[in-house]
């Protein structure tokens, strides 16, 4: 993690054991995010990386391309279509974190693989997530968070997620709404504007400048297997990928089960807004470790 506060103070990631850490809660409530260095071991990351190619090969309505149609931007609904990502979504280390930080039972609201491909991964402009879920899906309150699992090493040059510490404390910020055409996306459904580089809701410039000059900007770089958890009202963005290395993230949004949108209010597809709001049941902690190969 690097922090570009005016005083350029060093910002060292704090690895906390979420299961019993008041420190974790303090950091998350203060900053609106929590960085867990190497939460998953390299063998577990290798299991997950084995699911990337097949997830990116497919083309369905769950696949969102970059403006360059040769580049995949995101694939949604990965926890419902790839067993390894289904296991990750239900991993006890993630569920324990989500339950602790949201202070209640949770379910998977949305999942996606964000690619940020080499020489083509577009930006994600400064935005908050909750305003999309509030306006597009009717999510009642900002009681959701996203866990971004690093499937590649994330560096300062391959498009790390940038965040403004403390920006979640002001609730839904003043934002600009862009309802215009999405060049390059032809006759895609209206919800494509929630998912492309030309986002429907972005933080208004003066509000961004005020917050960024006051609170600074932190970039969440870290090794594969690390996890960034961020609140649905924390301002975040990511730049294009300037490096020769991909920056693949698996993102899972957890919502409090008592904060599910009313069914009649939901219009977007189920791969953007899950209809399954039952409390999630964690799987075994070693689910991602290769099965033990006993000597012959």
Q: Nearest distance from residue 173's CB to ligand 6CS, in Å?
A: 14
Does 271 help bind ligand 6CS (rule: CB under 6 A)? no
Provide the token pair at 198.
Answer: 């030309």
151 binds, among Fe ion, ligand 6CS, none (CB under 5 to 8 A by kind): none
Residue closer to ligand 6CS by CB (options 16, 227) is 227
24 binds, among Fe ion, ligand 6CS, none (CB under 5 to 8 A by kind): none
Q: Closest by alpha carbon to 68, among 142, 120, 7, 20?
A: 120
Does 195 help bind ligand 6CS (rule: CB under 6 A)? yes
Contacts to Fe ion from residues 109-138, by CB under 5 A: 129
List the strands of the sheet with 161-163, edge to edge: 2-3, 218-220, 161-163, 236-238, 124-127
Rg of the chain over all Cα atoms, to the nearest angstrom: 18
Does 122 help bind ligand 6CS (rule: CB under 6 A)? no
User: CA 121, CA 115: separation in Å to the nearest integer?
Assistant: 7
- List 110, 158, 239, 277, residue binding ligand 6CS (CB under 6 A): 110
User: CA 10, CA 160: separation in Å to the nearest integer?
Assistant: 17
Q: Any bridge partners for residue 65, and if so which?
A: 72
Residue closer to ligand 6CS by CB (options 12, 265) is 265
Give 3-state DSSP helix, strand, coil % of the chain, rounded to 5: 30, 20, 50
Residue closer to ligand 6CS by CB (options 25, 123) is 123
144-150 and 249-256 beta bridge pairing: antiparallel
Residue closer to ligand 6CS by CB (options 145, 199) is 199
Residue 178, CB half-sphere, CA atoms under 13 Å: how many?
19
Does 44 help bind ligand 6CS (rule: CB under 6 A)? no
110 binds, among Fe ion, ligand 6CS, none (CB under 5 to 8 A by kind): ligand 6CS
Residue closer to ligand 6CS by CB (options 19, 141) is 141
Distance of CA 121 to the CA centre of its chain: 16
DSSP E strands in the chain: the ranges are: 2-3, 33-36, 63-65, 72-76, 106-114, 124-127, 144-150, 161-163, 175-177, 201-203, 218-220, 227-231, 236-238, 249-256
Q: Nearest distance from residue 265's CB to Fe ion, in Å?
A: 21
Q: Which stretch binds ligand 6CS (CB under 6 A): 115-123, 124-132, 158-166, 283-291?
A: 124-132
With b for 16 or more beta-carbon neighbours within 10 A and e for fewer, the 266-296 pattern comes to bebeebbbbeebeebeebeeebbeeeeeeee
Q: Which stretch binds ligand 6CS (CB under 6 A): 31-39, 168-176, 191-199, 283-291?
A: 191-199
φ, ψ of residue 258 in degrees (nearest 5): -90, 10
Does 115 help bind ligand 6CS (rule: CB under 6 A)? no
- List 127, 143, 198, 247, residue binding ligand 6CS (CB under 6 A): 127
Does 274 help bind ligand 6CS (rule: CB under 6 A)? no
237 binds, among Fe ion, ligand 6CS, none (CB under 5 to 8 A by kind): none
In the complex, which residues of this chain contact Fe ion (CB under 5 A)?
129
In the complex, which residues of this chain contact ligand 6CS (CB under 6 A)?
110, 127, 129, 132, 136, 194-195, 199, 272
């Amino acid at each position: 993690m690097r922090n570009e506060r005016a005083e350029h103070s060093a910002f060292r990631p704090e690895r906390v054991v979420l299961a019993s850490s008041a420190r974790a809660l303090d950091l998350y409530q203060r900053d609106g995010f929590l960085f867990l260095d190497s939460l998953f071991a390299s063998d577990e990351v290798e299991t997950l990386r084995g699911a990337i190619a097949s997830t990116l090969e497919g083309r369905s309505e769950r696949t969102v391309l970059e403006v360059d149609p040769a580049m995949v931007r995101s694939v949604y609904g990965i926890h419902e279509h790839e067993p390894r990502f289904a296991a990750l979504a239900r991993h006890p280390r993630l569920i324990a974190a989500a339950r602790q930080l949201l202070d209640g039972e949770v379910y998977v609201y949305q999942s996606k693989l964000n690619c940020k491909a080499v020489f083509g991964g577009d930006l994600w402009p400064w935005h908050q997530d909750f305003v999309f879920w509030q306006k597009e899906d009717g999510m009642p309150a900002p009681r959701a968070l996203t866990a971004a699992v690093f499937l590649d090493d994330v560096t300062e040059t391959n498009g790390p997620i940038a965040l403004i510490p403390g920006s979640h404390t002001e609730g839904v910020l003043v934002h600009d709404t862009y309802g215009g055409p999405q060049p390059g996306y032809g006759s895609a459904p209206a919800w494509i504007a929630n998912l492309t580089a030309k986002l429907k809701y972005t933080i208004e410039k003066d509000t961004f400048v005020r917050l960024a000059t006051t609170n600074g900007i932190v970039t969440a770089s870290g090794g594969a297997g690390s996890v960034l958890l961020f609140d649905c009202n924390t301002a975040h963005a990511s730049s294009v990928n300037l490096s020769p290395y991909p920056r693949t993230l698996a993102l899972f949004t957890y919502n409090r089960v008592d904060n599910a949108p009313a069914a009649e209010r939901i219009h977007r597809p189920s791969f953007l807004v899950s209809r399954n709001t039952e409390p999630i049941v964690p799987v075994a902690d070693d689910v991602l470790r290769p099965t033990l190969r006993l000597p012959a």
